[in-house]
Structure 1
Amino acid sequence: MPSVELTAGTVEYEDTGGDGPVVVLMHGLGMDGSFYRNVVPALRYRCRVIVPVLPLGAHRTPMRRDADLTPRGIGRLQVEFLDALDLREVTLVGNDSGLFLFAAALRPERIARLVVSSCELFENFPPGLPGRSISLAAKVPGGLWLVAQGLRLRFVRRQPTALGLMSIRPIPDEITDRWFEGLVTRSEIRRDLAMYLRSTRRGDMMAAAEGLRGFARPVLVLWAKEDRVMPPAHGRRLVELLPDARLVEIEDSRTFIPEDQPVAFARAVNAFIG
């Protein structure tokens, strides 16, 4: 897997190559680029697809001890990633984590289109029961270590405080094994995640949304109709906020649309790119 050296540390990424439109897929908390494993094949036949591994708990290379891993800091890391690879006319896509919204507002000249898909938004931060649970654990001494040890057990991962509310269909165990390996076994990965979680503030995603008010690029808002963590009303509210946005609601899915409805997700993104 290729990597790039950024201010915060080394970031690995998948790059399908090719000369088509550039699509950058940003994942959420406690996962890596394999979150989009069922979407990339449907996009790569006409697009160059790039999926960075963000320092949100499933990364394999720890960040520097002085790295800025606040929500805005990770937004700046995403901007730096786009700059380092000199990516232009990007279709920037995010699901679950809303941190990519900071990147879109900071570097709109690199963005051709934005896809906002069932993610943290407005006052829903940390999001729902899973977000509040892990954020609270990170603020208690030893709490994140206890959470990580619980995640060794596959049935624990399926509980509402973990991944149980995030998708209708169960995520394969071999995928969640991969996601949680570093968190379970490596103190440096837990340190990075704790730095992020302890820095979050309720107003962060309000600021991210406000930063998009002047975003004059086309925006596709993809929201899961049965989402139980990211309120569907927030998708509609975002469309009203942005000058060039439209909403597509996805049936039979919760937050993790690339898990529940990867075909519908890829079809919507491909149609948006046109």
Structure 2
Amino acid sequence: MDTIQIKGINLHYEFYHLDNEKPVLVLLHGFLSSSFSFRRLIPILSKNYTILSVDLPPFGKSEKSIRFTYSYSNIASVVSELIRSFHFTKINLVGHSMGGQICLYMAKQEPALVDKLVLLCSSGYMKRMPKSLIYSSYLPYFHFIVKKKLAKQGVLHNLRNVVHNHELIDQEMIDGYTEPFLDNRIFMGLTRMIRHREGDLSSEELKQIKHPVLLIWGEQDRVVPISVGRRLHQDLPHSTFVSIKNTGHLVPEECPEKVATYIKNFI
């Protein structure tokens, strides 16, 4: 685990490297999450791949800056710069939920840097926030409203929404997903993300992505329904779609062995 400053922000990452001959996988987590969400997937994949898992700002242990621009395009460029700092010339991207959308932005911005993409219940077709909410985010102390809303939902409620089998939810999981929110600066970062997030790539933009893409979906996903995955499959010209039964949105936690097998076969 380490931290590096990229484009003025301290970026936290985990690096698992044993062999220069192993293909590189860059793991990008979802909204309100961190590299913690890959804790069951990384031990399996690190046997066959070099793994770089990134805490996307303002999440996880990365800096929660009040000066950073939290647009998808800027976050994607920061991750690309981190990859170049390792002198990697060709990498494979694995993105969960929001992280999947960041992967797509990277493929669009830096097509020569990316070999293949694996999208795990990726977000898709989300528009920019309403103008009324964007304007409201400039009100003094708006970040307290963000904090209050998230606190009202609670980590346990969110986990029950993203995990199909609630028996998987234990104290370790609850603590791991709670920890980043003990730093109040994350709510300032989320407020800025409300202003800066430009929305997901359009169908027209997706159709221009020529990389091979593997879409993996939980059939009981209540956050990003499987219909979104099928639509992405239609718009991404070189994509393969697979679904997993009795699985919700948090596929890296719920069925890491199956996900790892699909990734190995694809890469």
Quick check: TM above 0.5?
A: yes
Deviation at 1:220, TM superposition (A): 0.6
Alpha-carbon spacing, 1:4–1:240, altered in 2? closer, same or farther (3 Å) = same
Unaligned runs of 5+ in 2: none
Q: Is the 8 A contact 1:2 1:13 kept in 2?
A: yes
1:239 aligns with 2:240: no
Q: Is the 8 A contact 1:165 1:228 kept in 2?
A: yes
Task: Deviation per CA, 1:51-77: give whole Å up to 9, x if none.
Answer: 0111143335333x3211122222222
Alpha-carbon spacing, 1:234–1:47, altered in 2? closer, same or farther (3 Å) = same
Alpha-carbon spacing, 1:125–1:221, altered in 2? closer, same or farther (3 Å) = farther
Distance 1:255 1:182 in 2: 20
Match for 2:155: what amino acid? R
Aligned residues: percent identity?
A: 22
1:199 aligns with 2:200: no
Q: How does 1:81-100 map to 2 (within 5 A)?
A: 81-97=82-98, 98-100=101-103
Distance 1:176 1:104 in 2: 33
Q: Is the 8 A contact 2:11 2:62 kept in 1?
A: no
Alpha-carbon spacing, 1:23–1:104, altered in 2? closer, same or farther (3 Å) = same
Deviates more, 1:84-93 or 1:163-172: 163-172
Alpha-carbon spacing, 1:12–1:123, altered in 2? closer, same or farther (3 Å) = closer
TM-score, with normalisation over the residues of structure 2? 0.85
Alpha-carbon spacing, 1:187–1:21, altered in 2? closer, same or farther (3 Å) = same
Alpha-carbon spacing, 1:74–1:164, altered in 2? closer, same or farther (3 Å) = same
The corresponding residue for 1:176 is: 174
Distance 1:176 1:197 in 2: 25
Match for 2:255: what amino acid? Q
Alpha-carbon spacing, 1:251–1:4, altered in 2? closer, same or farther (3 Å) = same
The corresponding residue for 1:163 is: 159
Match for 2:125: what amino acid? F
Q: Is the 8 A contact 2:105 2:201 kept in 1?
A: no
Secondary structure, in 3 states, of the residue corresponding to 1:87? coil
TM-score, with normalisation over the residues of structure 1? 0.83
Match for 2:11: what amino acid? V
Task: Deviation per CA, 1:155-196: give whole Å up to 9, x if none.
Answer: x3232xx33221113433333323332323x23222112211
Q: Is the 8 A contact 1:4 1:84 kept in 2?
A: no
Distance 2:61 2:206 in 1: 28
Match for 1:165: what amino acid? N
Secondary structure, in 3 states, of the residue corresponding to 2:121? strand
Distance 2:62 2:172 in 1: 16
Give the count of matched residue pairs. Answer: 254
The corresponding residue for 1:2 is: 2
Q: Is the 8 A contact 2:215 2:229 kept in 1?
A: yes
The corresponding residue for 2:60 is: 58
Distance 1:266 1:175 in 2: 20
Task: Deviation per CA, 1:89-130: give whole Å up to 9, x if none.
Answer: 21101011122211121111111101111121014777xxxx
